[in-house]
Structure 1
Amino acid sequence: MTLTHPDSLTLTPNEARVLGTLMEKARTVPDSYPLSLNSLMLGCNQKSSRDPVMDLTEADVASALENLMALSLVRANNAGRVTRYEHNFQRGVGVPEQSAVLLGLLMLRGPQTAAELRLNTERWYKFADISSVEGFLEELQDRSAEKGGPLVIKLARAPGAREQRWAHLLCGSVDETQFAQSGSARGADGSPSNLARIEQLEAEVAQLKATVLMLCTELGVSATAPGVAQT
């Protein structure tokens, strides 16, 4: 089943990954934000907290940045020796902070339930409860045509799952068949199981290691120096 998407804004997968990565790093590593082209490429290609995992080149990232700047979703800062990039998603798309956070996570990690989104957004924004997450998702789904149309869609319930997942529409229509899953990684209530929580913690550790490596690259420090974490 293919679902309708907003015609006013359609990103490529590469553009969505670049934009989502900028949105993530602005909140999780503010001291190293805005990002250089190299740091942004590392963030796009990290193995943790990404679905799917991608292998973008600098040329891929640069091309995506050019298109995103044309859409006023990204800005370049040329004040220093190295050009750095920052997102302008919230203002560019015209959504509140909470909605921007949810869209950013959906761009980076693919379809998720409201419970998963609440868990995964903790480092970005702390939602009071799952109902709050659902409220903002429903607003994004009911977005009027005058504002560009819906930005998310609630997918059909997957086999074995009690909760439905949400997907973003920023890259166009969604083919639900490609997101079919057994639901084995979820608990009986549709929230992440213990295994999924362990995987989440492992992913966060991997992301911290990737951040250290990124900072070492920026500072010109060897990541093999004593006391420096390695990926």
Structure 2
Amino acid sequence: MPLDPRLQPLSATEARVLATLLEKSRTVPDSYPLTLNSLVLGCNQKTSREPVMQLADAEVQQALDSLRGRALVVEIGGARVARWEHNFSRGIGVPDQSAALLGLLMLRGPQTAAELRINAERWHRFADTSSVEAFLQELAERSDEKGGPLVLLLPRAPGAREPRWAQLLCGPVDVQAFAAAAPAPRSGDALEQRVQALEAEVGQLRDLVQRLCEQLG
């Protein structure tokens, strides 16, 4: 039996187009569905994108045509210009919470459950990191009858505190490459290190003051 075309691996461009539609449907609903021009601008954003891409109108249109053939996007005819919306949750067969996590993984690359919870704030407000992990685990254990797993928990990279999750919508990932690559320091980690350093300095000053007080009687 041939593979359901909706479950065939996405190209990098298709993933960026689909994830951008997912993002904009939740973060700028007043401007959604998107025109081709707006979608291209969203795909080529320099923030919240990993990697940053520079897609041309023709590339985005080709990806849209492919995704439409797989029932993952829908063209909405307008009086002046066509607009596009995603059909991701229904097309892939996942709840909205899982769709949000998959969209973030397609847009930003592998992330920890804690990072996903923070980054999903404008997409879906998860109660806590445990709820994010529950949805990720469900996606990782997806049965073959439903198309198989959609995410994978990567080995913890050297120097990393938590393992990251990767999406499988674009096909298998190179686990060895991810395991060998240490993630860039997170701003939160740098802040925590600075707080710890300041706390240590305060502790030293407190000890010094206490010794002086004891010497002075």
Shorter-normalised TM-score: what interval? 0.7 to 0.9
Find out whether 1:11 has 2:7 as its counterpart.
no
Contact kept? 2:16, 2:106, Cα under 8 Å: yes
1:193 aligned to 168, 174, 189, which one? Answer: 189
Choose between structure 1 and 2: higher helix proportion: 2
Q: 1:69 corresponds to which residue?
A: 68
Q: 1:219 corresponds to which residue?
A: none
Q: Percentage identity across aligned positions?
A: 64
The alignment's TM-score, normalised by the length of structure 1, stands at: 0.77
Specify the code of the residue in structure 2 equivalent to 1:146: E
Q: 2:3 corresponds to which residue?
A: none
Q: Alpha-carbon deviation of 1:178?
A: 3.8
- How many residues are aligned here? 187
Whole-angstrom CA distance in 2 between matches of 1:46 and 1:186:
20
> Which of 1 and 2 has greater Rg?
2
Q: 1:110 to 1:97 in 2, by over 3 A?
A: same
The alignment's TM-score, normalised by the length of structure 2, stands at: 0.82
Secondary structure of residue in 2 paired with 1:172: coil
Structure 2 unaligned blocks of 5 or more: 1-5, 193-217
Secondary structure of residue in 1 paired with 2:63: helix
> Displaced runs of 4+ in structure 1, greater than 4 A?
none
Q: Alpha-carbon deviation of 1:194?
A: 4.9
Q: Please, what is the CA RMSD of the aligned residues?
A: 1.9
Q: Alpha-carbon deviation of 1:161?
A: 1.0
Find out whether 1:95 has 2:94 as its counterpart.
yes
Q: 1:53 corresponds to which residue?
A: 52
Q: Which has the higher contact order (CA 8 A, sep 6+)?
A: 1
Whole-angstrom CA distance in 2 between matches of 1:11 and 1:183:
24
Q: 2:182 corresponds to which residue?
A: 182
Whole-angstrom CA distance in 1 between matches of 2:68 and 2:173:
25
Q: Alpha-carbon deviation of 1:185?
A: 1.2
Specify the code of the residue in structure 1 equivalent to 2:148: G
Whole-angstrom CA distance in 2 between matches of 1:63 and 1:155:
32
Contact kept? 1:185, 1:195, Cα under 8 Å: no
Q: Alpha-carbon deviation of 1:171?
A: 0.4
Q: 1:229 corresponds to which residue?
A: none
